[in-house]
Amino acid sequence: MKITCFFKKKIIHLNFTKKIIIMYTLITLPYSNEDLSPVISSQTLSFHHGKHLQTYVNNLNNLLKDSGFENSTLEETVKNSTGAIFNNAGQILNHNLYFLQFKKVASDNKPTGKILELINRDFGTFESFKDEFSKKSAGLFGSGWVWLSKNSNGKLEISQEQNAQNPITKGNIPLLTIDVWEHAYYLDYQNRRAEYIEKFWSIINWDEINNRLG
């Protein structure tokens, strides 16, 4: 399974314990805060990435000492941890995958290449896939994520995941996700989740999704 590690790390040497702790840092976005507007405003991006995700990074760093996960990758930590460490590591991984899948708005934005082949094979057409993914995104009760992932048999799956969950914990490769926690869209859309979902498709970087297939 190929999962790109979407975090930066600093190595801190603690000489008195002879331990090395990986300290996580906030990812740098491959676009400006204005590039996703009007789908995601610069204000939302500033709060969601710059403050909300930063809090998860700070929390995880504070939890690492003597946790058993000091030298683990982010993906390993998500797959093997529980409680507060899982919640914060999971949300870092989820948000990193979410933010790094975007590009500037394109009006006729559709997948190409291998991901399109797999979507057509497993869902019939891109429109059928988009409709199912959108319905599950609108219908997820409470807070969480909807994912497109590839299972161990190579088949694409759409799943609803609560809170910090990620398909990686089930052995799947996460490919595409939408954040339907209210903080992801409330400044721009208030309670109009369906409108957020509809516009979400115009900023997907399908080249990035193809890269995640491995």
Return the percentage of the chain with pLDDT > 90, whole number. 87
Given the DSSP bridges, would you call strands 156-162 and 144-150 parallel, antiparallel or unpaired?
Answer: antiparallel
pTM for the model stands at 0.91
Residue type, 175: L
Q: Is the pLDDT of residue 34 over 50?
A: yes
Position 204 pLDDT exceeds 60: yes
92 and 120 assigned to the same domain: no
Which residues are 179's β-sheet partners? 145
Residue-number span of the structural domain to which 42 is assigned: 8-99
Q: What is the DSSP string of 106-136?
A: -TT----HHHHHHHHHHHSSHHHHHHHHHHH
pLDDT value for 20: 59
* Mean pLDDT to the nearest integer, 62-89: 96
Out of 48, 70, 99, a domain closes at 99
Q: What is the CATH number of the domain that holds 171?
A: 3.55.40.20
Q: What is the CA radius of gyration of the chain?
A: 17
d(CA 62, CA 81): 15
- Specify if 1 maps to a domain: no
- Could you give the number of structural domains in the chain? 2
DSSP bridge partners of 13: 20
* Structural domain contains residue 108: no
pLDDT digits (tens, 9 = 90+) for 89-148: 999 999 999 999 999 999 899 999 999 999 999 999 999 999 999 999 999 999 999 999
Q: Are residues 118 and 95 in the same domain?
A: no
Which of 54, 77, 99 lies at the terminal end of a domain, its last residue?
Answer: 99
pLDDT, position 214: 84
What CATH number is attached to the domain comprising 87? 1.10.287.990
